[in-house]
């Protein structure tokens, strides 16, 4: 198992519903409104929506303001809250409950520290924190002290799962008062690169993300690097990717290395199913 998937199982727990965890107070949703503005926009007019802001506003990412995620403050259990839950289950965001002393602005400032991080190669990487798979991978792979610090402003953070449940992430009692500047570690970068494939494999196999095998991710990466990237093609090859063998056989590798269109590779690989 990839290290971050192991951490995912250790740091979070799956729940079927957030209703038992919520109170009558306020909560927040981080929305990837760029992916579906027509579905996200109605939230702003629903009962229970208190305030919102655009997270890229006033930052170095302001030129990308139209693609900016939103942070929306909502009354828990309200019409807006339930609509936001449904949006999250469509992979359009995730939810959180703040500590009692936090405000919309303080939560926004906290989140903004994660959108651009120094990477292990001396450059900077844009982190699509608003995407549930990315948020999940980041929380699972970040070093422990940074994990504790980042969650210190929240009672809990809840990310949706491919199975329609929620992963609930809760802070630990011991939390550092300050944290040095954020930066991507090699492990975090690997987790972020694998996050979308792990989500897809979890969805297609109806298995929790924490049950996705490292060998599946490795084989899927090899398949995609060979030029097979369409979802329908990958779906046809799912038995090959999730087979019991840790690595592809020489015969499968030969097909993947052929200089032929991807659809022909898929047709030939299906013989190994």
Residue 249 falls within a domain, yes or no? Answer: yes
- The boundaries of the domain holding residue 113 are 3-185
Contacts of 121 (CB under 8 A, 6+ apart): none
Q: Are residues 57 and 167 in the same domain?
A: yes
**Whole-angstrom distance, CA of residue 191 vs CA of residue 141:** 6
Residue 163 φ/ψ region, left for φ over 0, alpha for ψ in the -120 to 50 degree band, beta for the rest: alpha
Question: In angstroms, what is the C-alpha Rg of the chain?
Answer: 20
What percent of the chain shows pLDDT beyond 70? 95
Q: Are residues 147 and 240 in the same domain?
A: no
Residue 184 is given by DSSP the state: -
Q: Are residues 141 and 268 in the same domain?
A: no
Give the residues across from 52 on adjacent strands.
Answer: 72
pTM over 0.85: yes
Contact, 116 vs 126, CB < 8 A?
A: yes
Give the DSSP H or E segment for 188.
helix 186-205
pLDDT tens profile 249-273: 999 999 999 999 999 999 999 998 8
Q: Are residues 149 and 243 in the same domain?
A: no
């Amino acid at each position: 198992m990839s290290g971050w998937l192991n951490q995912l199982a250790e740091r979070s727990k799956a729940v079927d519903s957030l209703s038992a965890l919520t109170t009558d107070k306020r909560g927040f949703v981080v929305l990837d409104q760029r992916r579906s503005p027509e579905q996200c926009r109605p939230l702003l007019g629903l009962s229970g929506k208190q305030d919102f802001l655009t997270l890229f506003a006033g930052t170095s990412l302001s030129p990308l303001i139209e693609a900016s995620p939103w942070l929306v403050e909502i009354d828990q259990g309200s019409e807006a809250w339930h609509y936001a839950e449904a949006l999250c289950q469509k992979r359009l965001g995730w939810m959180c409950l703040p500590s009692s002393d936090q405000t919309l602005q303080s939560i926004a400032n906290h989140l903004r520290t994660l959108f651009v991080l120094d990477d292990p190669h001396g450059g900077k990487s844009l982190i699509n924190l608003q995407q549930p798979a990315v948020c999940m991978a980041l929380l699972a792979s970040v070093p422990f002290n940074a994990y504790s610090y980042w969650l210190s402003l929240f009672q809990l953070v809840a990310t949706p799962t491919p199975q329609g449940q929620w992963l609930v992430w809760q802070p630990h009692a011991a939390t550092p008062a300050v944290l040095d500047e954020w930066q991507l570690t090699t492990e975090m970068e690997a987790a972020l690169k694998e996050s979308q494939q792990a989500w897809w494999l979890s969805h297609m196999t109806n298995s929790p993300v924490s049950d996705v095998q490292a060998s599946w991710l490795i084989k899927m990466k090899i398949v995609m690097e060979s030029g097979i990237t369409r979802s329908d093609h990958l779906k046809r090859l799912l038995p090959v990717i999730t087979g019991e063998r840790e690595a592809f056989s020489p015969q499968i590798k030969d097909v993947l290395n052929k200089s032929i269109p991807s659809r022909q590779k898929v047709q030939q690989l299906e013989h190994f199913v």
